[in-house]
Amino acid sequence: ALGGEDQIMGRQQMALNMALPAVQSFLVARIGDILRRHDIEYVKWDHNRVLPMPDAAQTRGSYALLDRLRREFPHVEIESCASGGGRIDFGIMERTQRVWLSDSNDAVERLRIQHNASIFLPMAVTGSHVGPRTCHTSGRTLDIRFRAWVAAQRHMGFEMDPRELTDEEAQVLTDVTAWWKGNRDWMYGADILRLDSADPAIYAEQHLEEGGGQFVVFAGKSATSDQIAPRPLRLTRLSPEAKYRVELINRDEVGELSRGQNALKTGPFVVSGAYLMYHGLTLPWSFPERMWVIKGDLA
């Protein structure tokens, strides 16, 4: 075990000392036996332990273990995890195909977590799942639309008991998933550009296709806005002279309390890249815990 016998344990467990070759061989034998005897294609490699000490040898030993498993089982996809052990770095990305940012699947918390992680991680390797109606880590109850669209910002999946879904919720999940499947190929290679929202309640980002032919803006509202009259959200890195067809993908979610004849509410329109970057888009009014999804294509 890593550390002394008097350490504070998590779940009455200690972390194994991955620097020791004998520990690595033991784990290769045990894990390898399971992978050989069962038809397993995916492993979630969790790291929910705070180590008793910082130790570079522990990290190198973990890399060595993964290298041995990858050589013997190249067909198995491995997902690393940040929670607790903080195991997302360039070293781990050489050895795994996907990462999990947090055990919290609360969509409000995920909105911020994903937004900040996008400085380092692209969409293709960042797992994000639609959680249950009531989150197990926060106790917060969230609408299926918000949960689904937050998951659709990244590598989308489900982590819930589908039997809890109402017919309406199942349809929403079907529709959002279909949209994600229809756009994921270009989104995998897109740049995630974090937008500066004048409203601190809104986390906004722009996924820009390689070559700039299309984009999607996700603007998630995490709390009640302090702004009475919202200021436009300015986009970035578009061609100023180009014309873009802009459409609110989830226009059916506009509430009855929405104010005024907002352009995004009334249908697709065509504007220049200069307009989108220097003036911006005024988002429709919404309650907290809602997401606007805006698609743009070269006209």
Q: Is the same domain home to 268 and 238?
A: yes
Q: How far is CA 119 from the centre of its chain?
A: 12
Strands (E) in 70-117, as ranges, are 77-81, 98-100
End residue of a domain, out of 169, 188, 207: 188
Both 86 and 211 in one domain: the answer is no
- Of all residues in the chain, the percent with pLDDT exceeding 90 is 79
Which CATH number fits the domain that encloses residue 231?
Answer: 2.60.40.1180
CA–CA separation, 170 vs 148, rounded Å?
11
Annotation says 89 is catalytic: no
Residue range 217-231: average pLDDT? Answer: 91
The residue assigned the tokens 């949960």 is 147
The residue-averaged pLDDT of 255-274 equals 86
Assigned domain for 171 exists: yes
Average pLDDT for 262-284: 95
SS3 189: coil
Both 34 and 149 in one domain: the answer is yes
- Kindly state whether residues 262 and 154 are assigned to the same domain: no
Q: Is the pLDDT of residue 247 over 60?
A: yes
Element (H, E) at 156: strand 155-158
- Same-domain pairing of 199 and 284: yes
Domain assignment present for residue 156? The answer is yes
Q: Which of 160, 188, 216 is the last residue of a domain?
A: 188
**CA R_g for the chain:** 22
d(CA 274, CA 238): 8
Instruction: Give dist(CA 232, CA 209) in Å, integer.
Output: 22
- The reply to whether 123 and 216 lie within a common domain is no
User: 256 and 160 share a domain?
Assistant: no
In a domain, 7, yes or no: no
**263 and 165 housed in the same domain:** no
**How do 126-130 and 155-158 pair as beta strands?**
parallel
Q: What's the pLDDT score for residue 48?
A: 73
The one catalytic residue in 39, 46, 185, 252 is: 46
Among 113, 94, 95, 104, which Cα is nearest to 153's? 113
pLDDT, tens only, 62-119? 999 999 999 999 999 999 987 655 678 889 999 999 999 988 889 999 999 999 999 9
* Residue 103 falls in the annotated catalytic set: yes
pLDDT tens digits, 116-162: 999 989 999 999 999 999 999 899 999 999 999 999 999 999 999 99
**Do 68 and 138 belong to one domain?**
yes
Is pLDDT larger for residue 55 or for residue 212? 212
Q: Is residue 30 part of a domain?
A: yes
Q: What is the pTM of this model?
A: 0.92
Catalytic residue among 33, 67, 89, 103: 103
The parent domain of residue 112 ranges over 21-188
User: In the chain, how many domains are there?
Assistant: 2
Task: Find the CATH number of the domain harbouring 27.
Answer: 3.20.20.70
Domain assignment present for 2 = no
Domain boundary among 154, 188, 222: 188
